[in-house]
Amino acid sequence: MMDQEESTNYPIEFLNSLNVSGLPSHIIKLKIGVPIILLRNLSPPKLCNGTRLKVVNLQPNVIEAEILTGCGAGESVLIPRIPLIPNNFPFQFKRIQFPVALCYAMTINKAQGQTLGVAGVDLTASGFSHGQLYVALSRVSSPRNLHVHIPDELTNNVVYAEALN
């Protein structure tokens, strides 16, 4: 807790159970070779929010990783544990954690600007904004490497007619 007087109101177990959007979980289970995604800007332009990395070595306070995408692709970097303070609660607490999450899947917005070797797009829920379907389908260089899941074989491509005039 940021305020010591409030620490008696919120037990550690409760704080550890909170899963906050944009914040890594209290416990992150990683193995060497697993793909991860960075959740914070650490050292732009190489280490930005959304950068994909591969874990090379694990230490108690640092992760050694190889950058998979962007201008630093192939480079080895160190990701430290940092203090993260969410601001969408009526109380303030600090979590000291690695700013990463497993990267087996990513949102369409996080995939924008990335080039993927193979991609699977789940369109169970239709795209919700202009151009989102295009972004999802244009991440791979070859149509053979794109796999799309559409349950009813029909989806909406949101296009604003005003933008076409």
Please tell me the distance from the alpha carbon of residue 99 to that of residue 86, in angstroms, as a whole number. 13
pLDDT of residue 15: 72
Whole-number mean pLDDT of the chain? 82
The answer to whether 35 and 50 are in contact (CB under 8 A) is no
Q: Check whether 128 has a pLDDT greater than 80.
A: no
Radius of gyration over alpha carbons of the chain, in Å? Answer: 19
Q: What is the pLDDT of residue 71?
A: 85
Tell me the average pLDDT across 93-119: 81
E strand spans, the chain: 35-38, 52-58, 62-67, 76-80, 82-84, 95-97, 100-102, 119-122, 146-149
Under 8 Å CB-to-CB from 19, ≥6 apart: which residues?
A: 25
Bridge partner residues of 97 (DSSP): 82
pLDDT at 164 over 60: no
- Whether the pLDDT of residue 158 is over 80: the answer is no
Residue 80: predicted pLDDT: 94
Half-sphere exposure of 99 (CA within 13 A, CB side): 21
**Average pLDDT of span 112-139:** 79
pLDDT of res. 161? 67
pLDDT for 18-63, tens place per residue? 777 767 777 888 999 999 999 889 988 889 888 889 999 999 999 9
**pLDDT band, very low/low/confident/very high, at 129 (cuts 50, 70, 90):** confident
Residue 114: pLDDT above 90? no
